[in-house]
Amino acid sequence: MKILLTGAKGMLASDVAKRLDCLGIDFLGIDIDELDITDEAAVLDFVKAYKPDSVIHCAAYTAVDKAEDESELCMRVNSDGTANIAKACKSVGAQMLYISTDYVFDGTGETPFETNTPKSPLNVYGKSKSDGEDAVTEFLDKYYIVRISWVFGSHGNNFVKTMLRLCETKSELSIVGDQFGSPTYTVDLAVLLCEIVMSGKYGVYHATNEGFCSWAEFAEEIMRISESPCTVKTITTESYPTKAVRPRNSRLSKSSLDENGFKRLPDWREALKRYLSV
C-alpha cells in the first residue's frame, strides 16, 4: 500500500508517520510547505502525480477559540480543504481516512455518543469538521471517518504540557470539572489508525483511549504521576469562559471498533503514565 499523509508536521501525523515507518509501509508525509490543501487544482495535480492507494488526512485548522474570529479560514481549511482531498482521492481511486472530532456533537447528556448520533456542533471548529465529514461521504465510497478527542503527544502543545508548565510558577490550578471526555495518546491512536486504513472496513469510527474523566480529573492525574506539589481546584465551565463554546459531554462510544474487530486503546491513565515517562 502507498499512503499520502497530510499535516505531517502535526502532533498526530508525526506519530502516524513513525508507525508507518515501523510497519515498513511506503508513504509520503506532506504539510503546508509542500501542498496547500485549499488549492483545489494543486491538490488534484499532486494526488494524480503521487497516485496513493490511501490518504490519511490529518491536516487541519485546530485553533478552536481563534476559529470564532477566523471562521472563513477555518472553514476553508477544514471543509473546503477536505473536500479537495476527497475529490482528488476519487480521481485516482484512492481510499481516504479523515480525522474528525468529538466537537461535531452538541455535548448534551452523559451517554457516550454513537457514530450515527445526529451531529450538532456548538462552535465554528466543530462545524468545519462536520462539514469536512459531509464532503468525504459526498465524494467517496471508500472512506474511514475517525473521530478523536483530547489528544496529547510529544509534538506541539497539549493539555499535559500546559499543566506542567503552569505548575512551574503556580501552586494551585483552577480547572473545569464539568466537561467530560477521554484523553487520547497519539502514539496509541497512530497504531489503531494504521490498522484501520489497511483493513478495508470502511465507515465511521470513534477512537480514544479507554475511560472517561473531567479536565480537572485529567489535571489531577498529571500532578499525581509527575509528583507535582501543585493542587487542582475544580471549577465550572461558567467560571472559565472561552470564545468557543465547549461540549460538556465529549464521551464517545467505541462500539464501532468492537463491531469491526479492532482492539480498543489502553486506559487513558496508563497511556498518560507512558507519555510522562518518555
Catalytic residues: 125
Architecture of domain 2-158+182-211+250-267: 3-Layer(aba) Sandwich (3.40)
- Would you kindly state where each structural domain of the chain is located, as residue ranges? 2-158+182-211+250-267
Instruction: Name the pTM for this structure.
Output: 0.95
Closest listed residue to residue 81, CA positions, set 42, 48, 37, 44: 37
Dihedral angle over CA of 189, 175, 237, 211, nearest 10: 30
Q: 193 and 25 in contact (C-beta within 8 Å)? A: no
pLDDT at 241: 87
Q: Using CA atoms in the order 27, 33, 34, 40, what is the torsion angle rounded to 10 degrees?
A: 120
Average pLDDT per block of 10 residues along the chain, 278 residues long: 96 96 96 95 97 97 95 97 98 98 96 97 97 98 97 93 93 95 97 97 98 97 94 94 93 97 97 94
| CA angle at 206 for the pair 154 and 237, rounded to the nearest 5° | 70
For position 156, what pLDDT does the model report?
Answer: 85
Question: Which three three-digit cell numbers place residue 74?
Answer: 477555518
Dist CA 136 CA 139 (whole Å):
6
Q: State the Cα–Cα distance between residues 142 and 177, nearest whole angstrom.
A: 39
